[in-house]
């Protein structure tokens, strides 16, 4: 059992801000855990930042299982959360249960589902079975086609009502937290006050119980980051410089240098061995 549990996350509301960052592979998950981040999150955003898709609609259960397994191997302390991808939980509660179990068996401590009111039954069933669930409302990227792109949510009375209904449904069904993505900050504040479970915001302002960012946005290794993401480093630039140095050093014959290879000290010894090896090959 890892140190950060859904119960701990729940208890952080009103006491300490919750931090969450995505990771999709072993080395990045090691670093997120080591940094003291509370939740290491295998998001379906991997479809975009790892696989180059224009949205998150083509992410499969297989991809989520493989990436979750790699991340889970690295994490000792943080809570490991895995996204349920598009198509893995909408058709029936049974399919949702089966797929959530696959993510748990791959090493996740909890799963995240987009939507709230529409999936109350699934959330309740998973929680009863012992699978902790995080909800997700506001901008739900899996509704990309209906929304006609990614945009801020909660401008109209109807949208505010929908977000409130989702958050309250999730609380009632037993979810341990809810992501509020790209809502007006006032709406996120209202939700945070209206529900007893922690709200984790992304692009929804400061009046929430925690924040989540995508690894590639935070580190500056993705060109199409959303406008609300903050770049804490410019690793894209650093990586490009390193690759250009390698390229020019190989072309110039400067790499590998003397410290990066091993040679026979006794050249005569080598010539004799090579002679014998060549001769033996010739006999065949
Ligand atoms: N790299 C990355 N970071 C994220 O935070 C993230 C993903 N990918 N993929 C899944 C969702 C999608 N997200 C997004 C992406 C773009 C905007 C956005 O508002 N972009 C433009 C407009 C784009 C459009 O017109 O479609 C903007 O300037 O508002 C918002 C949320 C947040 N999530
Ligand atoms: C944007 C976050 C919350 C997400 O769902 C993801 O990275 O997949
Ligand atoms: Mg997601």
DSSP letters for 140-191: -GGGHHHHTS---B--SHHHHHHHHHHHHHHHHHT-SEEEEESB-HHHHHHH
Provide mean pLDDT across the span 24-45. Answer: 98
Q: What is the whole-number distance in angstroms between the Cα of residue 44 and the centre of ligand 3?
A: 4
Write the DSSP assignment of 184-200 as a string of letters. Answer: -HHHHHHHHHH-SS-EE
Confidence category of residue 154, pLDDT binned at 50, 70, 90: very high
Q: What is the per-residue pLDDT for 1?
A: 82
Q: Which of 120, 162, 171, 181 is catalytic?
A: 181
Per-residue pLDDT for 284 more than 80?
no
Ligand lying nearest the CA atom of residue 41: 2
Which residue is listed with tokens 């006050």? 193
Residue 276 pLDDT: 98
3-state secondary structure of 22: strand
Mean pLDDT taken over the chain:
97
What is the rounded average pLDDT of the residues 39-51? 98
- State yes or no: ipTM above 0.90: yes
Using pLDDT thresholds of 50, 70 and 90, give the confidence band for residue 283. confident
Question: How far, in Å, is the centroid of ligand 1 from the Cα of 199?
Answer: 19
- C-beta separation of 236 from 209 below 8 A: no
80-90 mean pLDDT:
98
* 171 a catalytic residue: no
Any idea what the Cα angle at residue 187 is, between residues 229 and 138, rounded to 5°?
A: 60
Q: How confident is the model at residue 191 (pLDDT cuts 50, 70, 90)?
A: very high
C-alpha 47 to ligand 3 mean position (Å): 9
The answer to whether 193 is a known ligand-binding residue is: no
Between the two ends of the chain, the Cα-to-Cα distance in Å is: 60
What would the pLDDT profile of 246-274 be if each residue is shown by its tens digit?
999 999 999 999 999 999 999 999 999 99
| Cβ-contact 135, 115 below 8 angstroms | yes
**What whole-number percentage of the chain has pLDDT above 90?**
99
Determine the pLDDT at residue 71.
98
Least confident window among 30-39, 60-69, 104-113, 141-150: 141-150
Name the pLDDT band for 219 (thresholds 50, 70, 90). very high
Closest-CA residue, ligand 1 atom 1, reads 225
172 near 215, Cβ under 8 Å? no
The model's pTM: 0.96
Binding residue per annotation — 284? no
Residues, Cβ < 5 Å to ion ligand 3: 43-44, 83
Place 213 in a pLDDT band, splitting at 50, 70 and 90.
very high
Which residue, by CA, sits nearest to atom 32 of ligand 1? Answer: 226
């Amino acid at each position: 059992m890892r140190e950060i549990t859904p119960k701990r996350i729940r208890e952080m509301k009103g006491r300490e801000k919750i931090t969450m960052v995505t990771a999709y592979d072993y080395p990045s998950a090691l670093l997120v855990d080591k940094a003291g981040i509370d939740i290491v999150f295998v998001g379906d955003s991997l479809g975009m930042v790892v696989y180059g898709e224009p949205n998150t609609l083509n992410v499969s259960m297989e991809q989520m299982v493989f990436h979750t397994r790699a991340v889970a191997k690295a994490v000792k302390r943080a809570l490991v959360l895995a996204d349920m991808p598009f198509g893995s939980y909408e058709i029936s509660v049974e399919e949702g249960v089966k797929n959530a179990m696959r993510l748990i068996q791959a090493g996740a401590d909890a799963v995240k589902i987009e939507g709230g009111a529409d999936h109350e039954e699934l959330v309740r069933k998973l929680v009863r079975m012992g699978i902790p669930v995080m909800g997700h409302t506001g901008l739900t990227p899996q509704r990309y086609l209906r929304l006609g792109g990614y945009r801020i949510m909660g401008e109209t009375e109807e949208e505010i009502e929908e977000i409130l209904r989702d958050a309250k449904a999730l609380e009632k069904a037993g979810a341990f937290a809810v992501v509020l993505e790209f809502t007006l900050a006032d709406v996120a504040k209202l939700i945070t006050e209206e529900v007893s479970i922690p709200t984790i915001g992304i692009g929804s302002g400061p009046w929430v119980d925690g924040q989540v960012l995508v690894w590639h946005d935070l580190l500056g290794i993705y060109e199409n980051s959303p406008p609300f993401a903050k770049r804490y480093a410019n690793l894209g630039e650093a990586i490009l410089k390193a690759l250009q140095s390698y390229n020019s050093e190989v072309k110039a014959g400067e790499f590998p240098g003397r410290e990066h290879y091993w040679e026979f000290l006794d050249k005569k010894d080598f010539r004799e061995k090579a002679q014998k090896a060549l001769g033996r090959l010739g006999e065949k």
